[in-house]
Structure 1
Amino acid sequence: MDKKKPPFNQNVNEFVDAYGTDSTLGLSHAEARKRLDQYGQNELPGEEKEPRWKAFMRHFHDILIYVLLAAAAVTLVLGHYIDTAVILVVAIVNASIGYFQENKAEKALEGIRNMLSLEANVRRNGKRQTVPSTELVVGDLVMLSPGDKVPADLRLVRAEELNVEEAALTGESTSVLKHTEQLEEDTVLADRLNMTFSGTTVVSGTGAGIVAATGTDTEIGKINRSISDIEDIKTPLLKQTAQFGKMISFAIVGLALVMFIFGFFFRDYEIGELLLSVIGLAVAAIPEGLPAILSIILAIGVQNMAGRNAIVRNLPSVETLGSVSVICSDKTGTLTKNEMTVTSVVTADREYNVSGTGYVPMGTIFHKKEEVDTNEDTALYHFLLSVKNNNDAELHQDEEEHWTVMGEPTEGCLVTLAEKASTAVDDLAVESKIPFDSDYKYMATLVTLEGRKMMLIKGAPDRIFDMADQETLKDGTKQPFNRKAWTEKMGVHAKRGERVLGVAIKPMPEGTEKITRDDLSKGVTMLGLAGIIDPPREAAVTAITECKKAGIQVKMITGDHAETAMAIGKQMGIETGAAALEGKDLDAMAQAELEEAVEKHQIFARTSPENKLRLLEALQAKGKIAAMTGDGVNDAPALKRADVGVAMGIKGTEVAKDASEMVLVDDHFKTIVNAVEEGRRVYDNLKKTILFILPTNAAEAFLIMASILIGVAMPLTPVQILWVNMVSSVTVSLALAFEGLDKGAMDKQPRNPKTPLLSGYYIFRILFVAILIGGGTLAMNLTMVEQGYDQSIVNTVTLQTIVLAQMFHLFNCRSELNFAFNKDFFKNKAVFVVSALLIGLQLAITYVPFMNMVFGTRPIELAYWTFPVIMGIVVFIVVEIEKSITKQIVKRKDAR
């Protein structure tokens, strides 16, 4: 087979010869079997799923958990089985939380496979028969009828009013009328009108096509392959926490080794006691609850987003949204409503504006801001009569009171227009009809109007102009047709991004029963033009303004024509200083050129799936965190490649949803901005949590290190240290997940993904609080030991001191620099709930006999609680003073 020229670039005879088939008989059974053996079945490859056990075990693959498990092994060897059990429980709980919260199932490939047709009608040996679509081969002759799902990529050899719905593949909002003529070699996918593609649907008409590609070679197969080839991108948070975990682990292991050597050579510790002390140090320093608390905070973010109509399928994507710096948005159905709307009507001597959007039959026709009385405007009334009665569409209202169109969207919006007239527009009986034909580009209907036979005509303006010799004025009088004036009017509206439709009328002789195309050669009167748009979503316009305020760029990537895309972009408020780039322009660019272009241009038109992928890769090469919105199969590769793929929930295909990280329940672009806001809140709260947890671990580590250096008994046992870490991580620190968005967070530029998780100030604050809590607790511990208190009482009071100091410090961490007592102090009820829970747990570990046995504590008298409470108050006051001083320093620095 000679496949040097693409199928759409060959005429029918060339294609038939090149592919060794027959355009009327099809292949022989023998040849079909031979090709099936040679090229394989018409199906897409499956994907091997990860076993559940392996998915669970993957959550132990964290360097912090490795250090924890090593500590468990040492305690097991030393015979401290309770310590071993507690450490292992902590590790298993962390892994379980990660496993159950994770939702990374890749269903996109399966979703694409389900789009394929199950059966196909073919001709083999000249006889029509039904075969499984998997057995189709290149060269098969396939018959197409309304409602058929196209089973493979076909080069059409016959097309009779064949309309195919390709929105999911190409992004076009209306069905496409097909033909069989040869096309240019550089014709983009959306314009290949002599082809039908696997997974699309025949809306109307009939046709026949020869299979040009099957399986992975089809356009949908290429998308499938590109999804398979795309590697999952690690989110900024996962990159930072992985690096953070390695850094902490190496530091902890190194510190433990140094302390062991010091204790062994310079202090009189038994080897077993020293090992336990060093394990205590490691356990104290490891923020083992951090992976769990991060998962919980992200999960709470997921729940909050769900309440705001954004379903997040991948936990880390919650935080990634907070650092998004550019949103690449599809136009149709995302920025626009995907509902055609007539916004203007032009007659010979007047121009009208029409209010209302979509198919809801509510709105008004205005002239110079005044509602028009259609009874007094002959030209407009006849125009509305024509578009309503020369029409095959119907409006319907469903049970939920949503208005939908049965038929072509363009015709549906004309019916809606007629319903907006100040007085009812008559329904007329159709007596004869000339259906729309792609060669003639118009349709006509014979009716009886005001006692006379009339032919109503609508179609492409230039074809109507060719027929017209008169035009109607407002008062009903007629004058010679002025083509130049009408052409100028058409051009003005086309530049606004409107699709322009011409409407005309012609009186017919009395007794006419049937109309033909010959009747349109003369005597046609021009009534007017309808300007049609796919209107922007009002909320999307607001959302784009908010994105600009938050430092987020919005780029529109669409399959539409450049002029339409530019016009819509201006309406949306997208910066359009540079002209729109088309897919063919992008194809001609080297990677370096593309990276420069993607910075300069905001609108990209007539794009292919490959174009979208390259644009995303160029943005990511420039260091951008990119979100991609989409609803079609053609968007799936880009959705998966994006840092955050955002699919439409209502109009989006299952393939798009399964390839994305987030699904918008309401299809509103504004919901993305809400999600970004939530993402920024989540990240800020993650940092607050780290700012709370790390001083806790550092204070405990300081306590153990100082004890080894001084040569005194350990203030806390390893199991007591684990208790402190777990109650602070899973109770107190959890409250920070519910903190609201800091004031001004959406007025800041997006966070640089390379910004370290811990700033210089955070490191200072961690060390400052660690020394404050650790030093104060150690001083109290040594004083009690010197005064001869029982070691178990000393340990119990020490444990309470550290925990209560952390509880008071929680209130410091609710705001990075602002004063803790402010108007929002009582807003986060969770802070007070977990504080009460923490107090309950501390009472339990002190006074419940079973817990005394497990954790080595003992009941203490009320007087012993004095120091823990005083210590907590001191920590709170000192840190608030430090915050106030730091805030003044930052203000002075910013003022310079």
Structure 2
Amino acid sequence: MIGLVAIIDPLRTEAKGAVAACREAGIEVAMITGDHPATALTIAQELNIVESADQLVAGPDLQLALDSGTIDQLTAKARCFARVGPRQKLEIVQSLQRNGHFVAVSGDGANDAPALRTAQVGVAMGLNGTDVARETSDLIVTDDNFASIVAGVEEGRVAFANVRKVIFLLISTGAAELVLFTLALLTGLPLPLMAVQLLWLNLVTNGIQDVALAFEPGEGNEMRQSPRSPHEPIFNRIMIERVIISALVIGTVAFLLFQWLIARGYTLDEARNGTLLLMVLFENVHVFNCRSEARSVFRHNPLRNPILLIGTVAAQLVHIGAMYTPWLRDVLHVQPISPQHWLELLGFALTVLIAMELHKAIRKRYLH
């Protein structure tokens, strides 16, 4: 014997951390390979995918399975599959789906195509992946790095959370307007706002803020949350609770102000002017409630989303500017108010902040 050469394809330095991040995020990682079981088990243990040989299933074991029920029993405990062929990869994916998992598969070869197509999410490697794999998959990772898939999961969770935040802002403020108008109609008062004032409120002042809210960065705990069900609606229980509470507070306080102004002898235009400004201030305050469903406003650094901070200030300044612009003032039927009255209305607007902080505190104490 002259010599012995050993060759190994080392793990990427970030692979182990990516697997750990998946586990923390409630995502189970399984490895499917055509390598020898001993090689596969060693790599899987190094990545902390498996803890013992009991979690390894080889291709011959799957071949001996008599029916899909037997395969399901094997895949229920296994997280490492060795010496498997293209057909068995497909069977493993189908079995995991029958066991109730939402399955994502990554692969680069033509033999991965059936599994990529069958999985709920197929992820192909863009650098070294075959054309068949890329055409079959739903996503393509351009750097062939598993850590990029994990980063994509985090970005997806941030994006979904921001969609919920913007929807909550729009629906809650719209529902508040319904509460305001309903109370006015039930008590026989004139309409609190004109049509042009409603358009101004929804399209201009609120329109600036909802765009800015979409740029909200992640809260930092996205990968410490359990995956949501694919069938979970956007309007889940917490969303409905928050919409109802904020809508009732905003709509009721605005109505009480409008009713008080009318009772004190203010003209209808003056009462509407004060009510409109209060609604704008409510939106300015409420947008910060929308930054998180669970975390307190006071634990959020406003500078983490400078676009939102600037957008909120801009929305208020645009409305104040309209009060001092002759032609726009006539169109909107608004007029300037004193700084003292502005501060008083700001105090009323803070009631929605207090209400939502109480809701977060109660949920945190009794549900967690």
How far the C-alpha of 1:828 sits from its partner, in A, is 1.9
Give the CA deviation at 1:878.
4.0
Aligned partner of 1:797 in structure 2 is 274
Same amino acid, percent of matched pairs: 34
Per-residue CA deviation, residues 491-512 of structure 1 (Å, 9 max, x unaligned), is xxxxxxxxxxxxxxxxxxxxxx
In the other structure, the counterpart of 1:870 is 347
TM-score when normalising by structure 1: 0.37
The aligned residue for residue 623 of structure 1 is 100
C-alpha distance after superposition, 1:701-732 (max 9, x if no partner):
11122223223322234554344333466422
**Which whole-Å deviations, capped at 9, do the CAs of 1:833-886 have from their partners, x for residues lacking one?**
211231244245545566567xx5124122364554232233323433443344
Pairing 1:271-350 to 2, within 5 Å after superposition:
none
Matched, 1:827 2:304: yes
Shift of 1:668: 1.5
2:4 aligns to what?
529
The question of whether the paired residues in 2 share the 8 Å contact of 1:583 and 1:604 is answered with no
**Distance in structure 2 (CA, Å) of the matches to 1:672 and 1:586:** 31
CA contact (8 A) 1:777 1:801 kept: yes
Query: What is the rounded CA distance, in whole Å, between the counterparts of 2:321 and 2:100 in structure 1?
Result: 51
1:817 paired to 2:294: yes
- Relative distance call for 1:660 and 1:527 in structure 2 (3 A) is same
Are 2:337 and 1:836 aligned?
no
Is the 8 Å Cα contact of residues 109 and 133 (structure 2) preserved in structure 1?
yes
Q: Tell me which amino acid in the other structure corresponds to 1:593.
A: T
Distance 2:24 2:256 in 1: 51
Q: Does 1:673 align with 2:155?
A: no
Distance 1:720 1:861, change over 3 A: closer
Match of 1:379 in 2: none
> Which residue identity does 1:537 align to in structure 2?
R
Q: Give the residue type in structure 1 aligned to 2:226.
A: Q
The amino acid that maps onto 2:179 is F
CA distance in 2, matches of 1:571, 1:626: 23
Match of 1:550 in 2: 25
Counterpart AA for 2:31: M
How far does the alpha carbon of each residue in 1:712-771 deviate from its partner, in whole angstroms, 9 at most, with x for none? 322234554344333466422333333343354423332333445344444333222111
Matched-pair contact (CA < 8 Å) for 2:323–2:336? no
Alignment partner of 1:884 out of 339, 361, 368: 361
Q: Deviations over 1:59-83 (max 9, x none)?
A: xxxxxxxxxxxxxxxxxxxxxxxxx
Residue deviations 1:267-291, cap 9 Å, x none? Answer: xxxxxxxxxxxxxxxxxxxxxxxxx
Contact 1:557 1:612 in 2 (8 A): yes
1:652 maps to what in 2?
Answer: 129
Deviation at 1:547, TM superposition (A): 1.8
Summarize the alignment of residues 705-716 of structure 1 with structure 2, pairs less than 5 Å apart.
705-716=182-193
Residue 243 (structure 2) pairs with residue 766 (structure 1) = yes
Q: 1:623, 1:728 → 2: CA distance? A: 45
> Deviations 1:348-367 (Å, cap 9, x if unpaired)?
xxxxxxxxxxxxxxxxxxxx
The structural deviation recorded for 1:556 is 1.4
- Per residue, is there more helix in 1 or in 2? 2
Contact kept, 8 Å, 2:90 with 2:118, in 1: the verdict is yes
Query: Does the residue aligned with 1:580 lie in a helix, a strand or coil?
Result: strand
Counterpart among 152, 155, 160 of residue 683 in structure 1: 160
- 1:601 corresponds in structure 2 to 78
Residue correspondence of structure 1 range 125-524 to structure 2 within 5 A: none
Letter in 2 for 1:699: A
| Superposed displacement of residue 777, structure 1 | 0.6
Residue in 2 that maps onto 1:741: 218
Secondary structure of 1:738's aligned partner = coil
- Structure 1 residue 654: Cα displacement: 4.0
CA deviation digits over 1:402-455, x for unaligned, max 9?
Answer: xxxxxxxxxxxxxxxxxxxxxxxxxxxxxxxxxxxxxxxxxxxxxxxxxxxxxx
The offset of 1:552, in angstroms, is 1.5
- Alpha-carbon separation, structure 1, partners of 2:297 and 2:124: 40
Matched, 1:541 2:16: yes
Q: Residue 579 of structure 1 is aligned with which of 26, 42, 56?
A: 56
Output the CA distance in 1 between the equivalents of 2:209 and 2:156: 22
Distance change in 2, residues 1:628/1:796 (3 Å): farther
**Residue pair 1:805, 1:868 contacting (<8 A) in 2 also:** no
Question: Counterpart of 1:633 in structure 2: which amino acid?
Answer: A
Q: Residues 613 and 721 (structure 1 numbering): CA distance in 2 closer, same or farther, change over 3 Å? A: farther
Gapped runs of 5+ residues in structure 1?
Answer: 1-525
State the distance in 2 between where 1:719 and 1:610 align: 64
Say which SS state the counterpart of residue 55 (structure 2) adopts.
coil
Give the secondary-structure state (helix, strand or coil) at the position aligned to 1:628.
strand
CA distance in 2, matches of 1:859, 1:835: 20
Counterparts in 2 of 1:720 and 1:612: CA distance versus 1, 3 Å:
farther
1:455-482 CA-to-partner distances (Å, cap 9, x unmatched) read xxxxxxxxxxxxxxxxxxxxxxxxxxxx
Higher Rg of the two aligned structures = 1
Deviation for aligned residue 1:550: 2.4
Quick one: distance in 2 between partners of 1:847 and 1:636?
65
Q: Which amino acid counterpart does residue 574 of structure 1 have in structure 2?
A: I
Q: Return the offset for 1:634.
A: 3.2
- Aligned pair in 2 of structure 1 residues 626, 849: CA closer, same or farther (>3 Å)? farther
Q: Contact (CA 8 Å) 1:692, 1:809: kept in 2 or not? A: yes
Aligned in 2, Cα 1:636/1:730: closer, same or farther, shift over 3 Å? Answer: farther
**CA distance change for structure 1 residues 795 and 542 in 2, over 3 Å: closer, same or farther?**
same
* Structure 1 range deviating more: 771-780 or 791-800: 791-800
CA distance in structure 2 between the aligned counterparts of 1:549 and 1:844, rounded to whole angstroms: 49
Q: 1:583·1:608 contact (CA, 8 Å) conserved in 2?
A: no
8 Å Cα contact 2:329/2:335 also seen in 1: no
Please report how far the alpha carbon of residue 831 of structure 1 lies from its aligned counterpart in structure 2 after TM superposition.
2.0
Amino acid at match of 2:261: M
Q: Does 1:751 align with 2:235?
A: no
Q: Which residue of 2 aligns with 1:142?
A: none
Q: Distance in 2 between matches of 1:646 and 1:794?
A: 58
Counterpart Cα distance in 2 of 1:769 and 1:573: 45
Contact 1:631 1:647 in 2 (8 A): yes
Displacement of 1:553 in angstroms is: 1.1
Equivalent in 333, 349, 357 of residue 858 of structure 1 = 333
Q: Conserved in 2, the CA contact under 8 Å of 1:664 and 1:671?
A: yes
The one-character-per-residue Cα deviations of 1:194-244 (angstroms, maximum 9, x if unpaired) are xxxxxxxxxxxxxxxxxxxxxxxxxxxxxxxxxxxxxxxxxxxxxxxxxxx
Q: So what's the TM-score if we normalise by structure 2?
A: 0.84
- In 2 relative to 1, CA 723–562 (structure 1 residues): closer, same or farther, beyond 3 Å? farther
Q: Deviations over 1:151-172 (max 9, x none)?
A: xxxxxxxxxxxxxxxxxxxxxx
Tell me, in whole angstroms, the C-alpha distance in 2 between the residues paired with 1:728 and 1:843: 11
Question: 1:644 and 1:724, CA in 2 relative to 1: closer, same or farther beyond 3 A?
Answer: farther
Q: Partners of 1:833 and 1:586 in 2: how far apart?
A: 63
Task: Tell me the equivalent position of 2:40.
Answer: 565
User: Per-residue deviation at 1:543?
Assistant: 1.3
- Pair 1:557–1:795, CA change in 2 (3 A): same
Partner of 1:724: 201
Asked if 1 retains the 8 angstrom alpha-carbon contact of 2:123 and 2:140, the reply is: yes
2: CA distance, partners of 1:661 / 1:572: 26
Q: d(CA) in 2 for partners of 1:828 and 1:781?
A: 34
Whole-angstrom CA distance in 2 between matches of 1:704 and 1:666: 55
Distance 1:597 1:603 in 2: 11
What per-residue deviation string (whole Å, max 9, x for no partner) do you get for residues 554-597 of structure 1?
11122334443333323332215333231782595533333333
d(CA) in 2 for partners of 1:701 and 1:652? 54
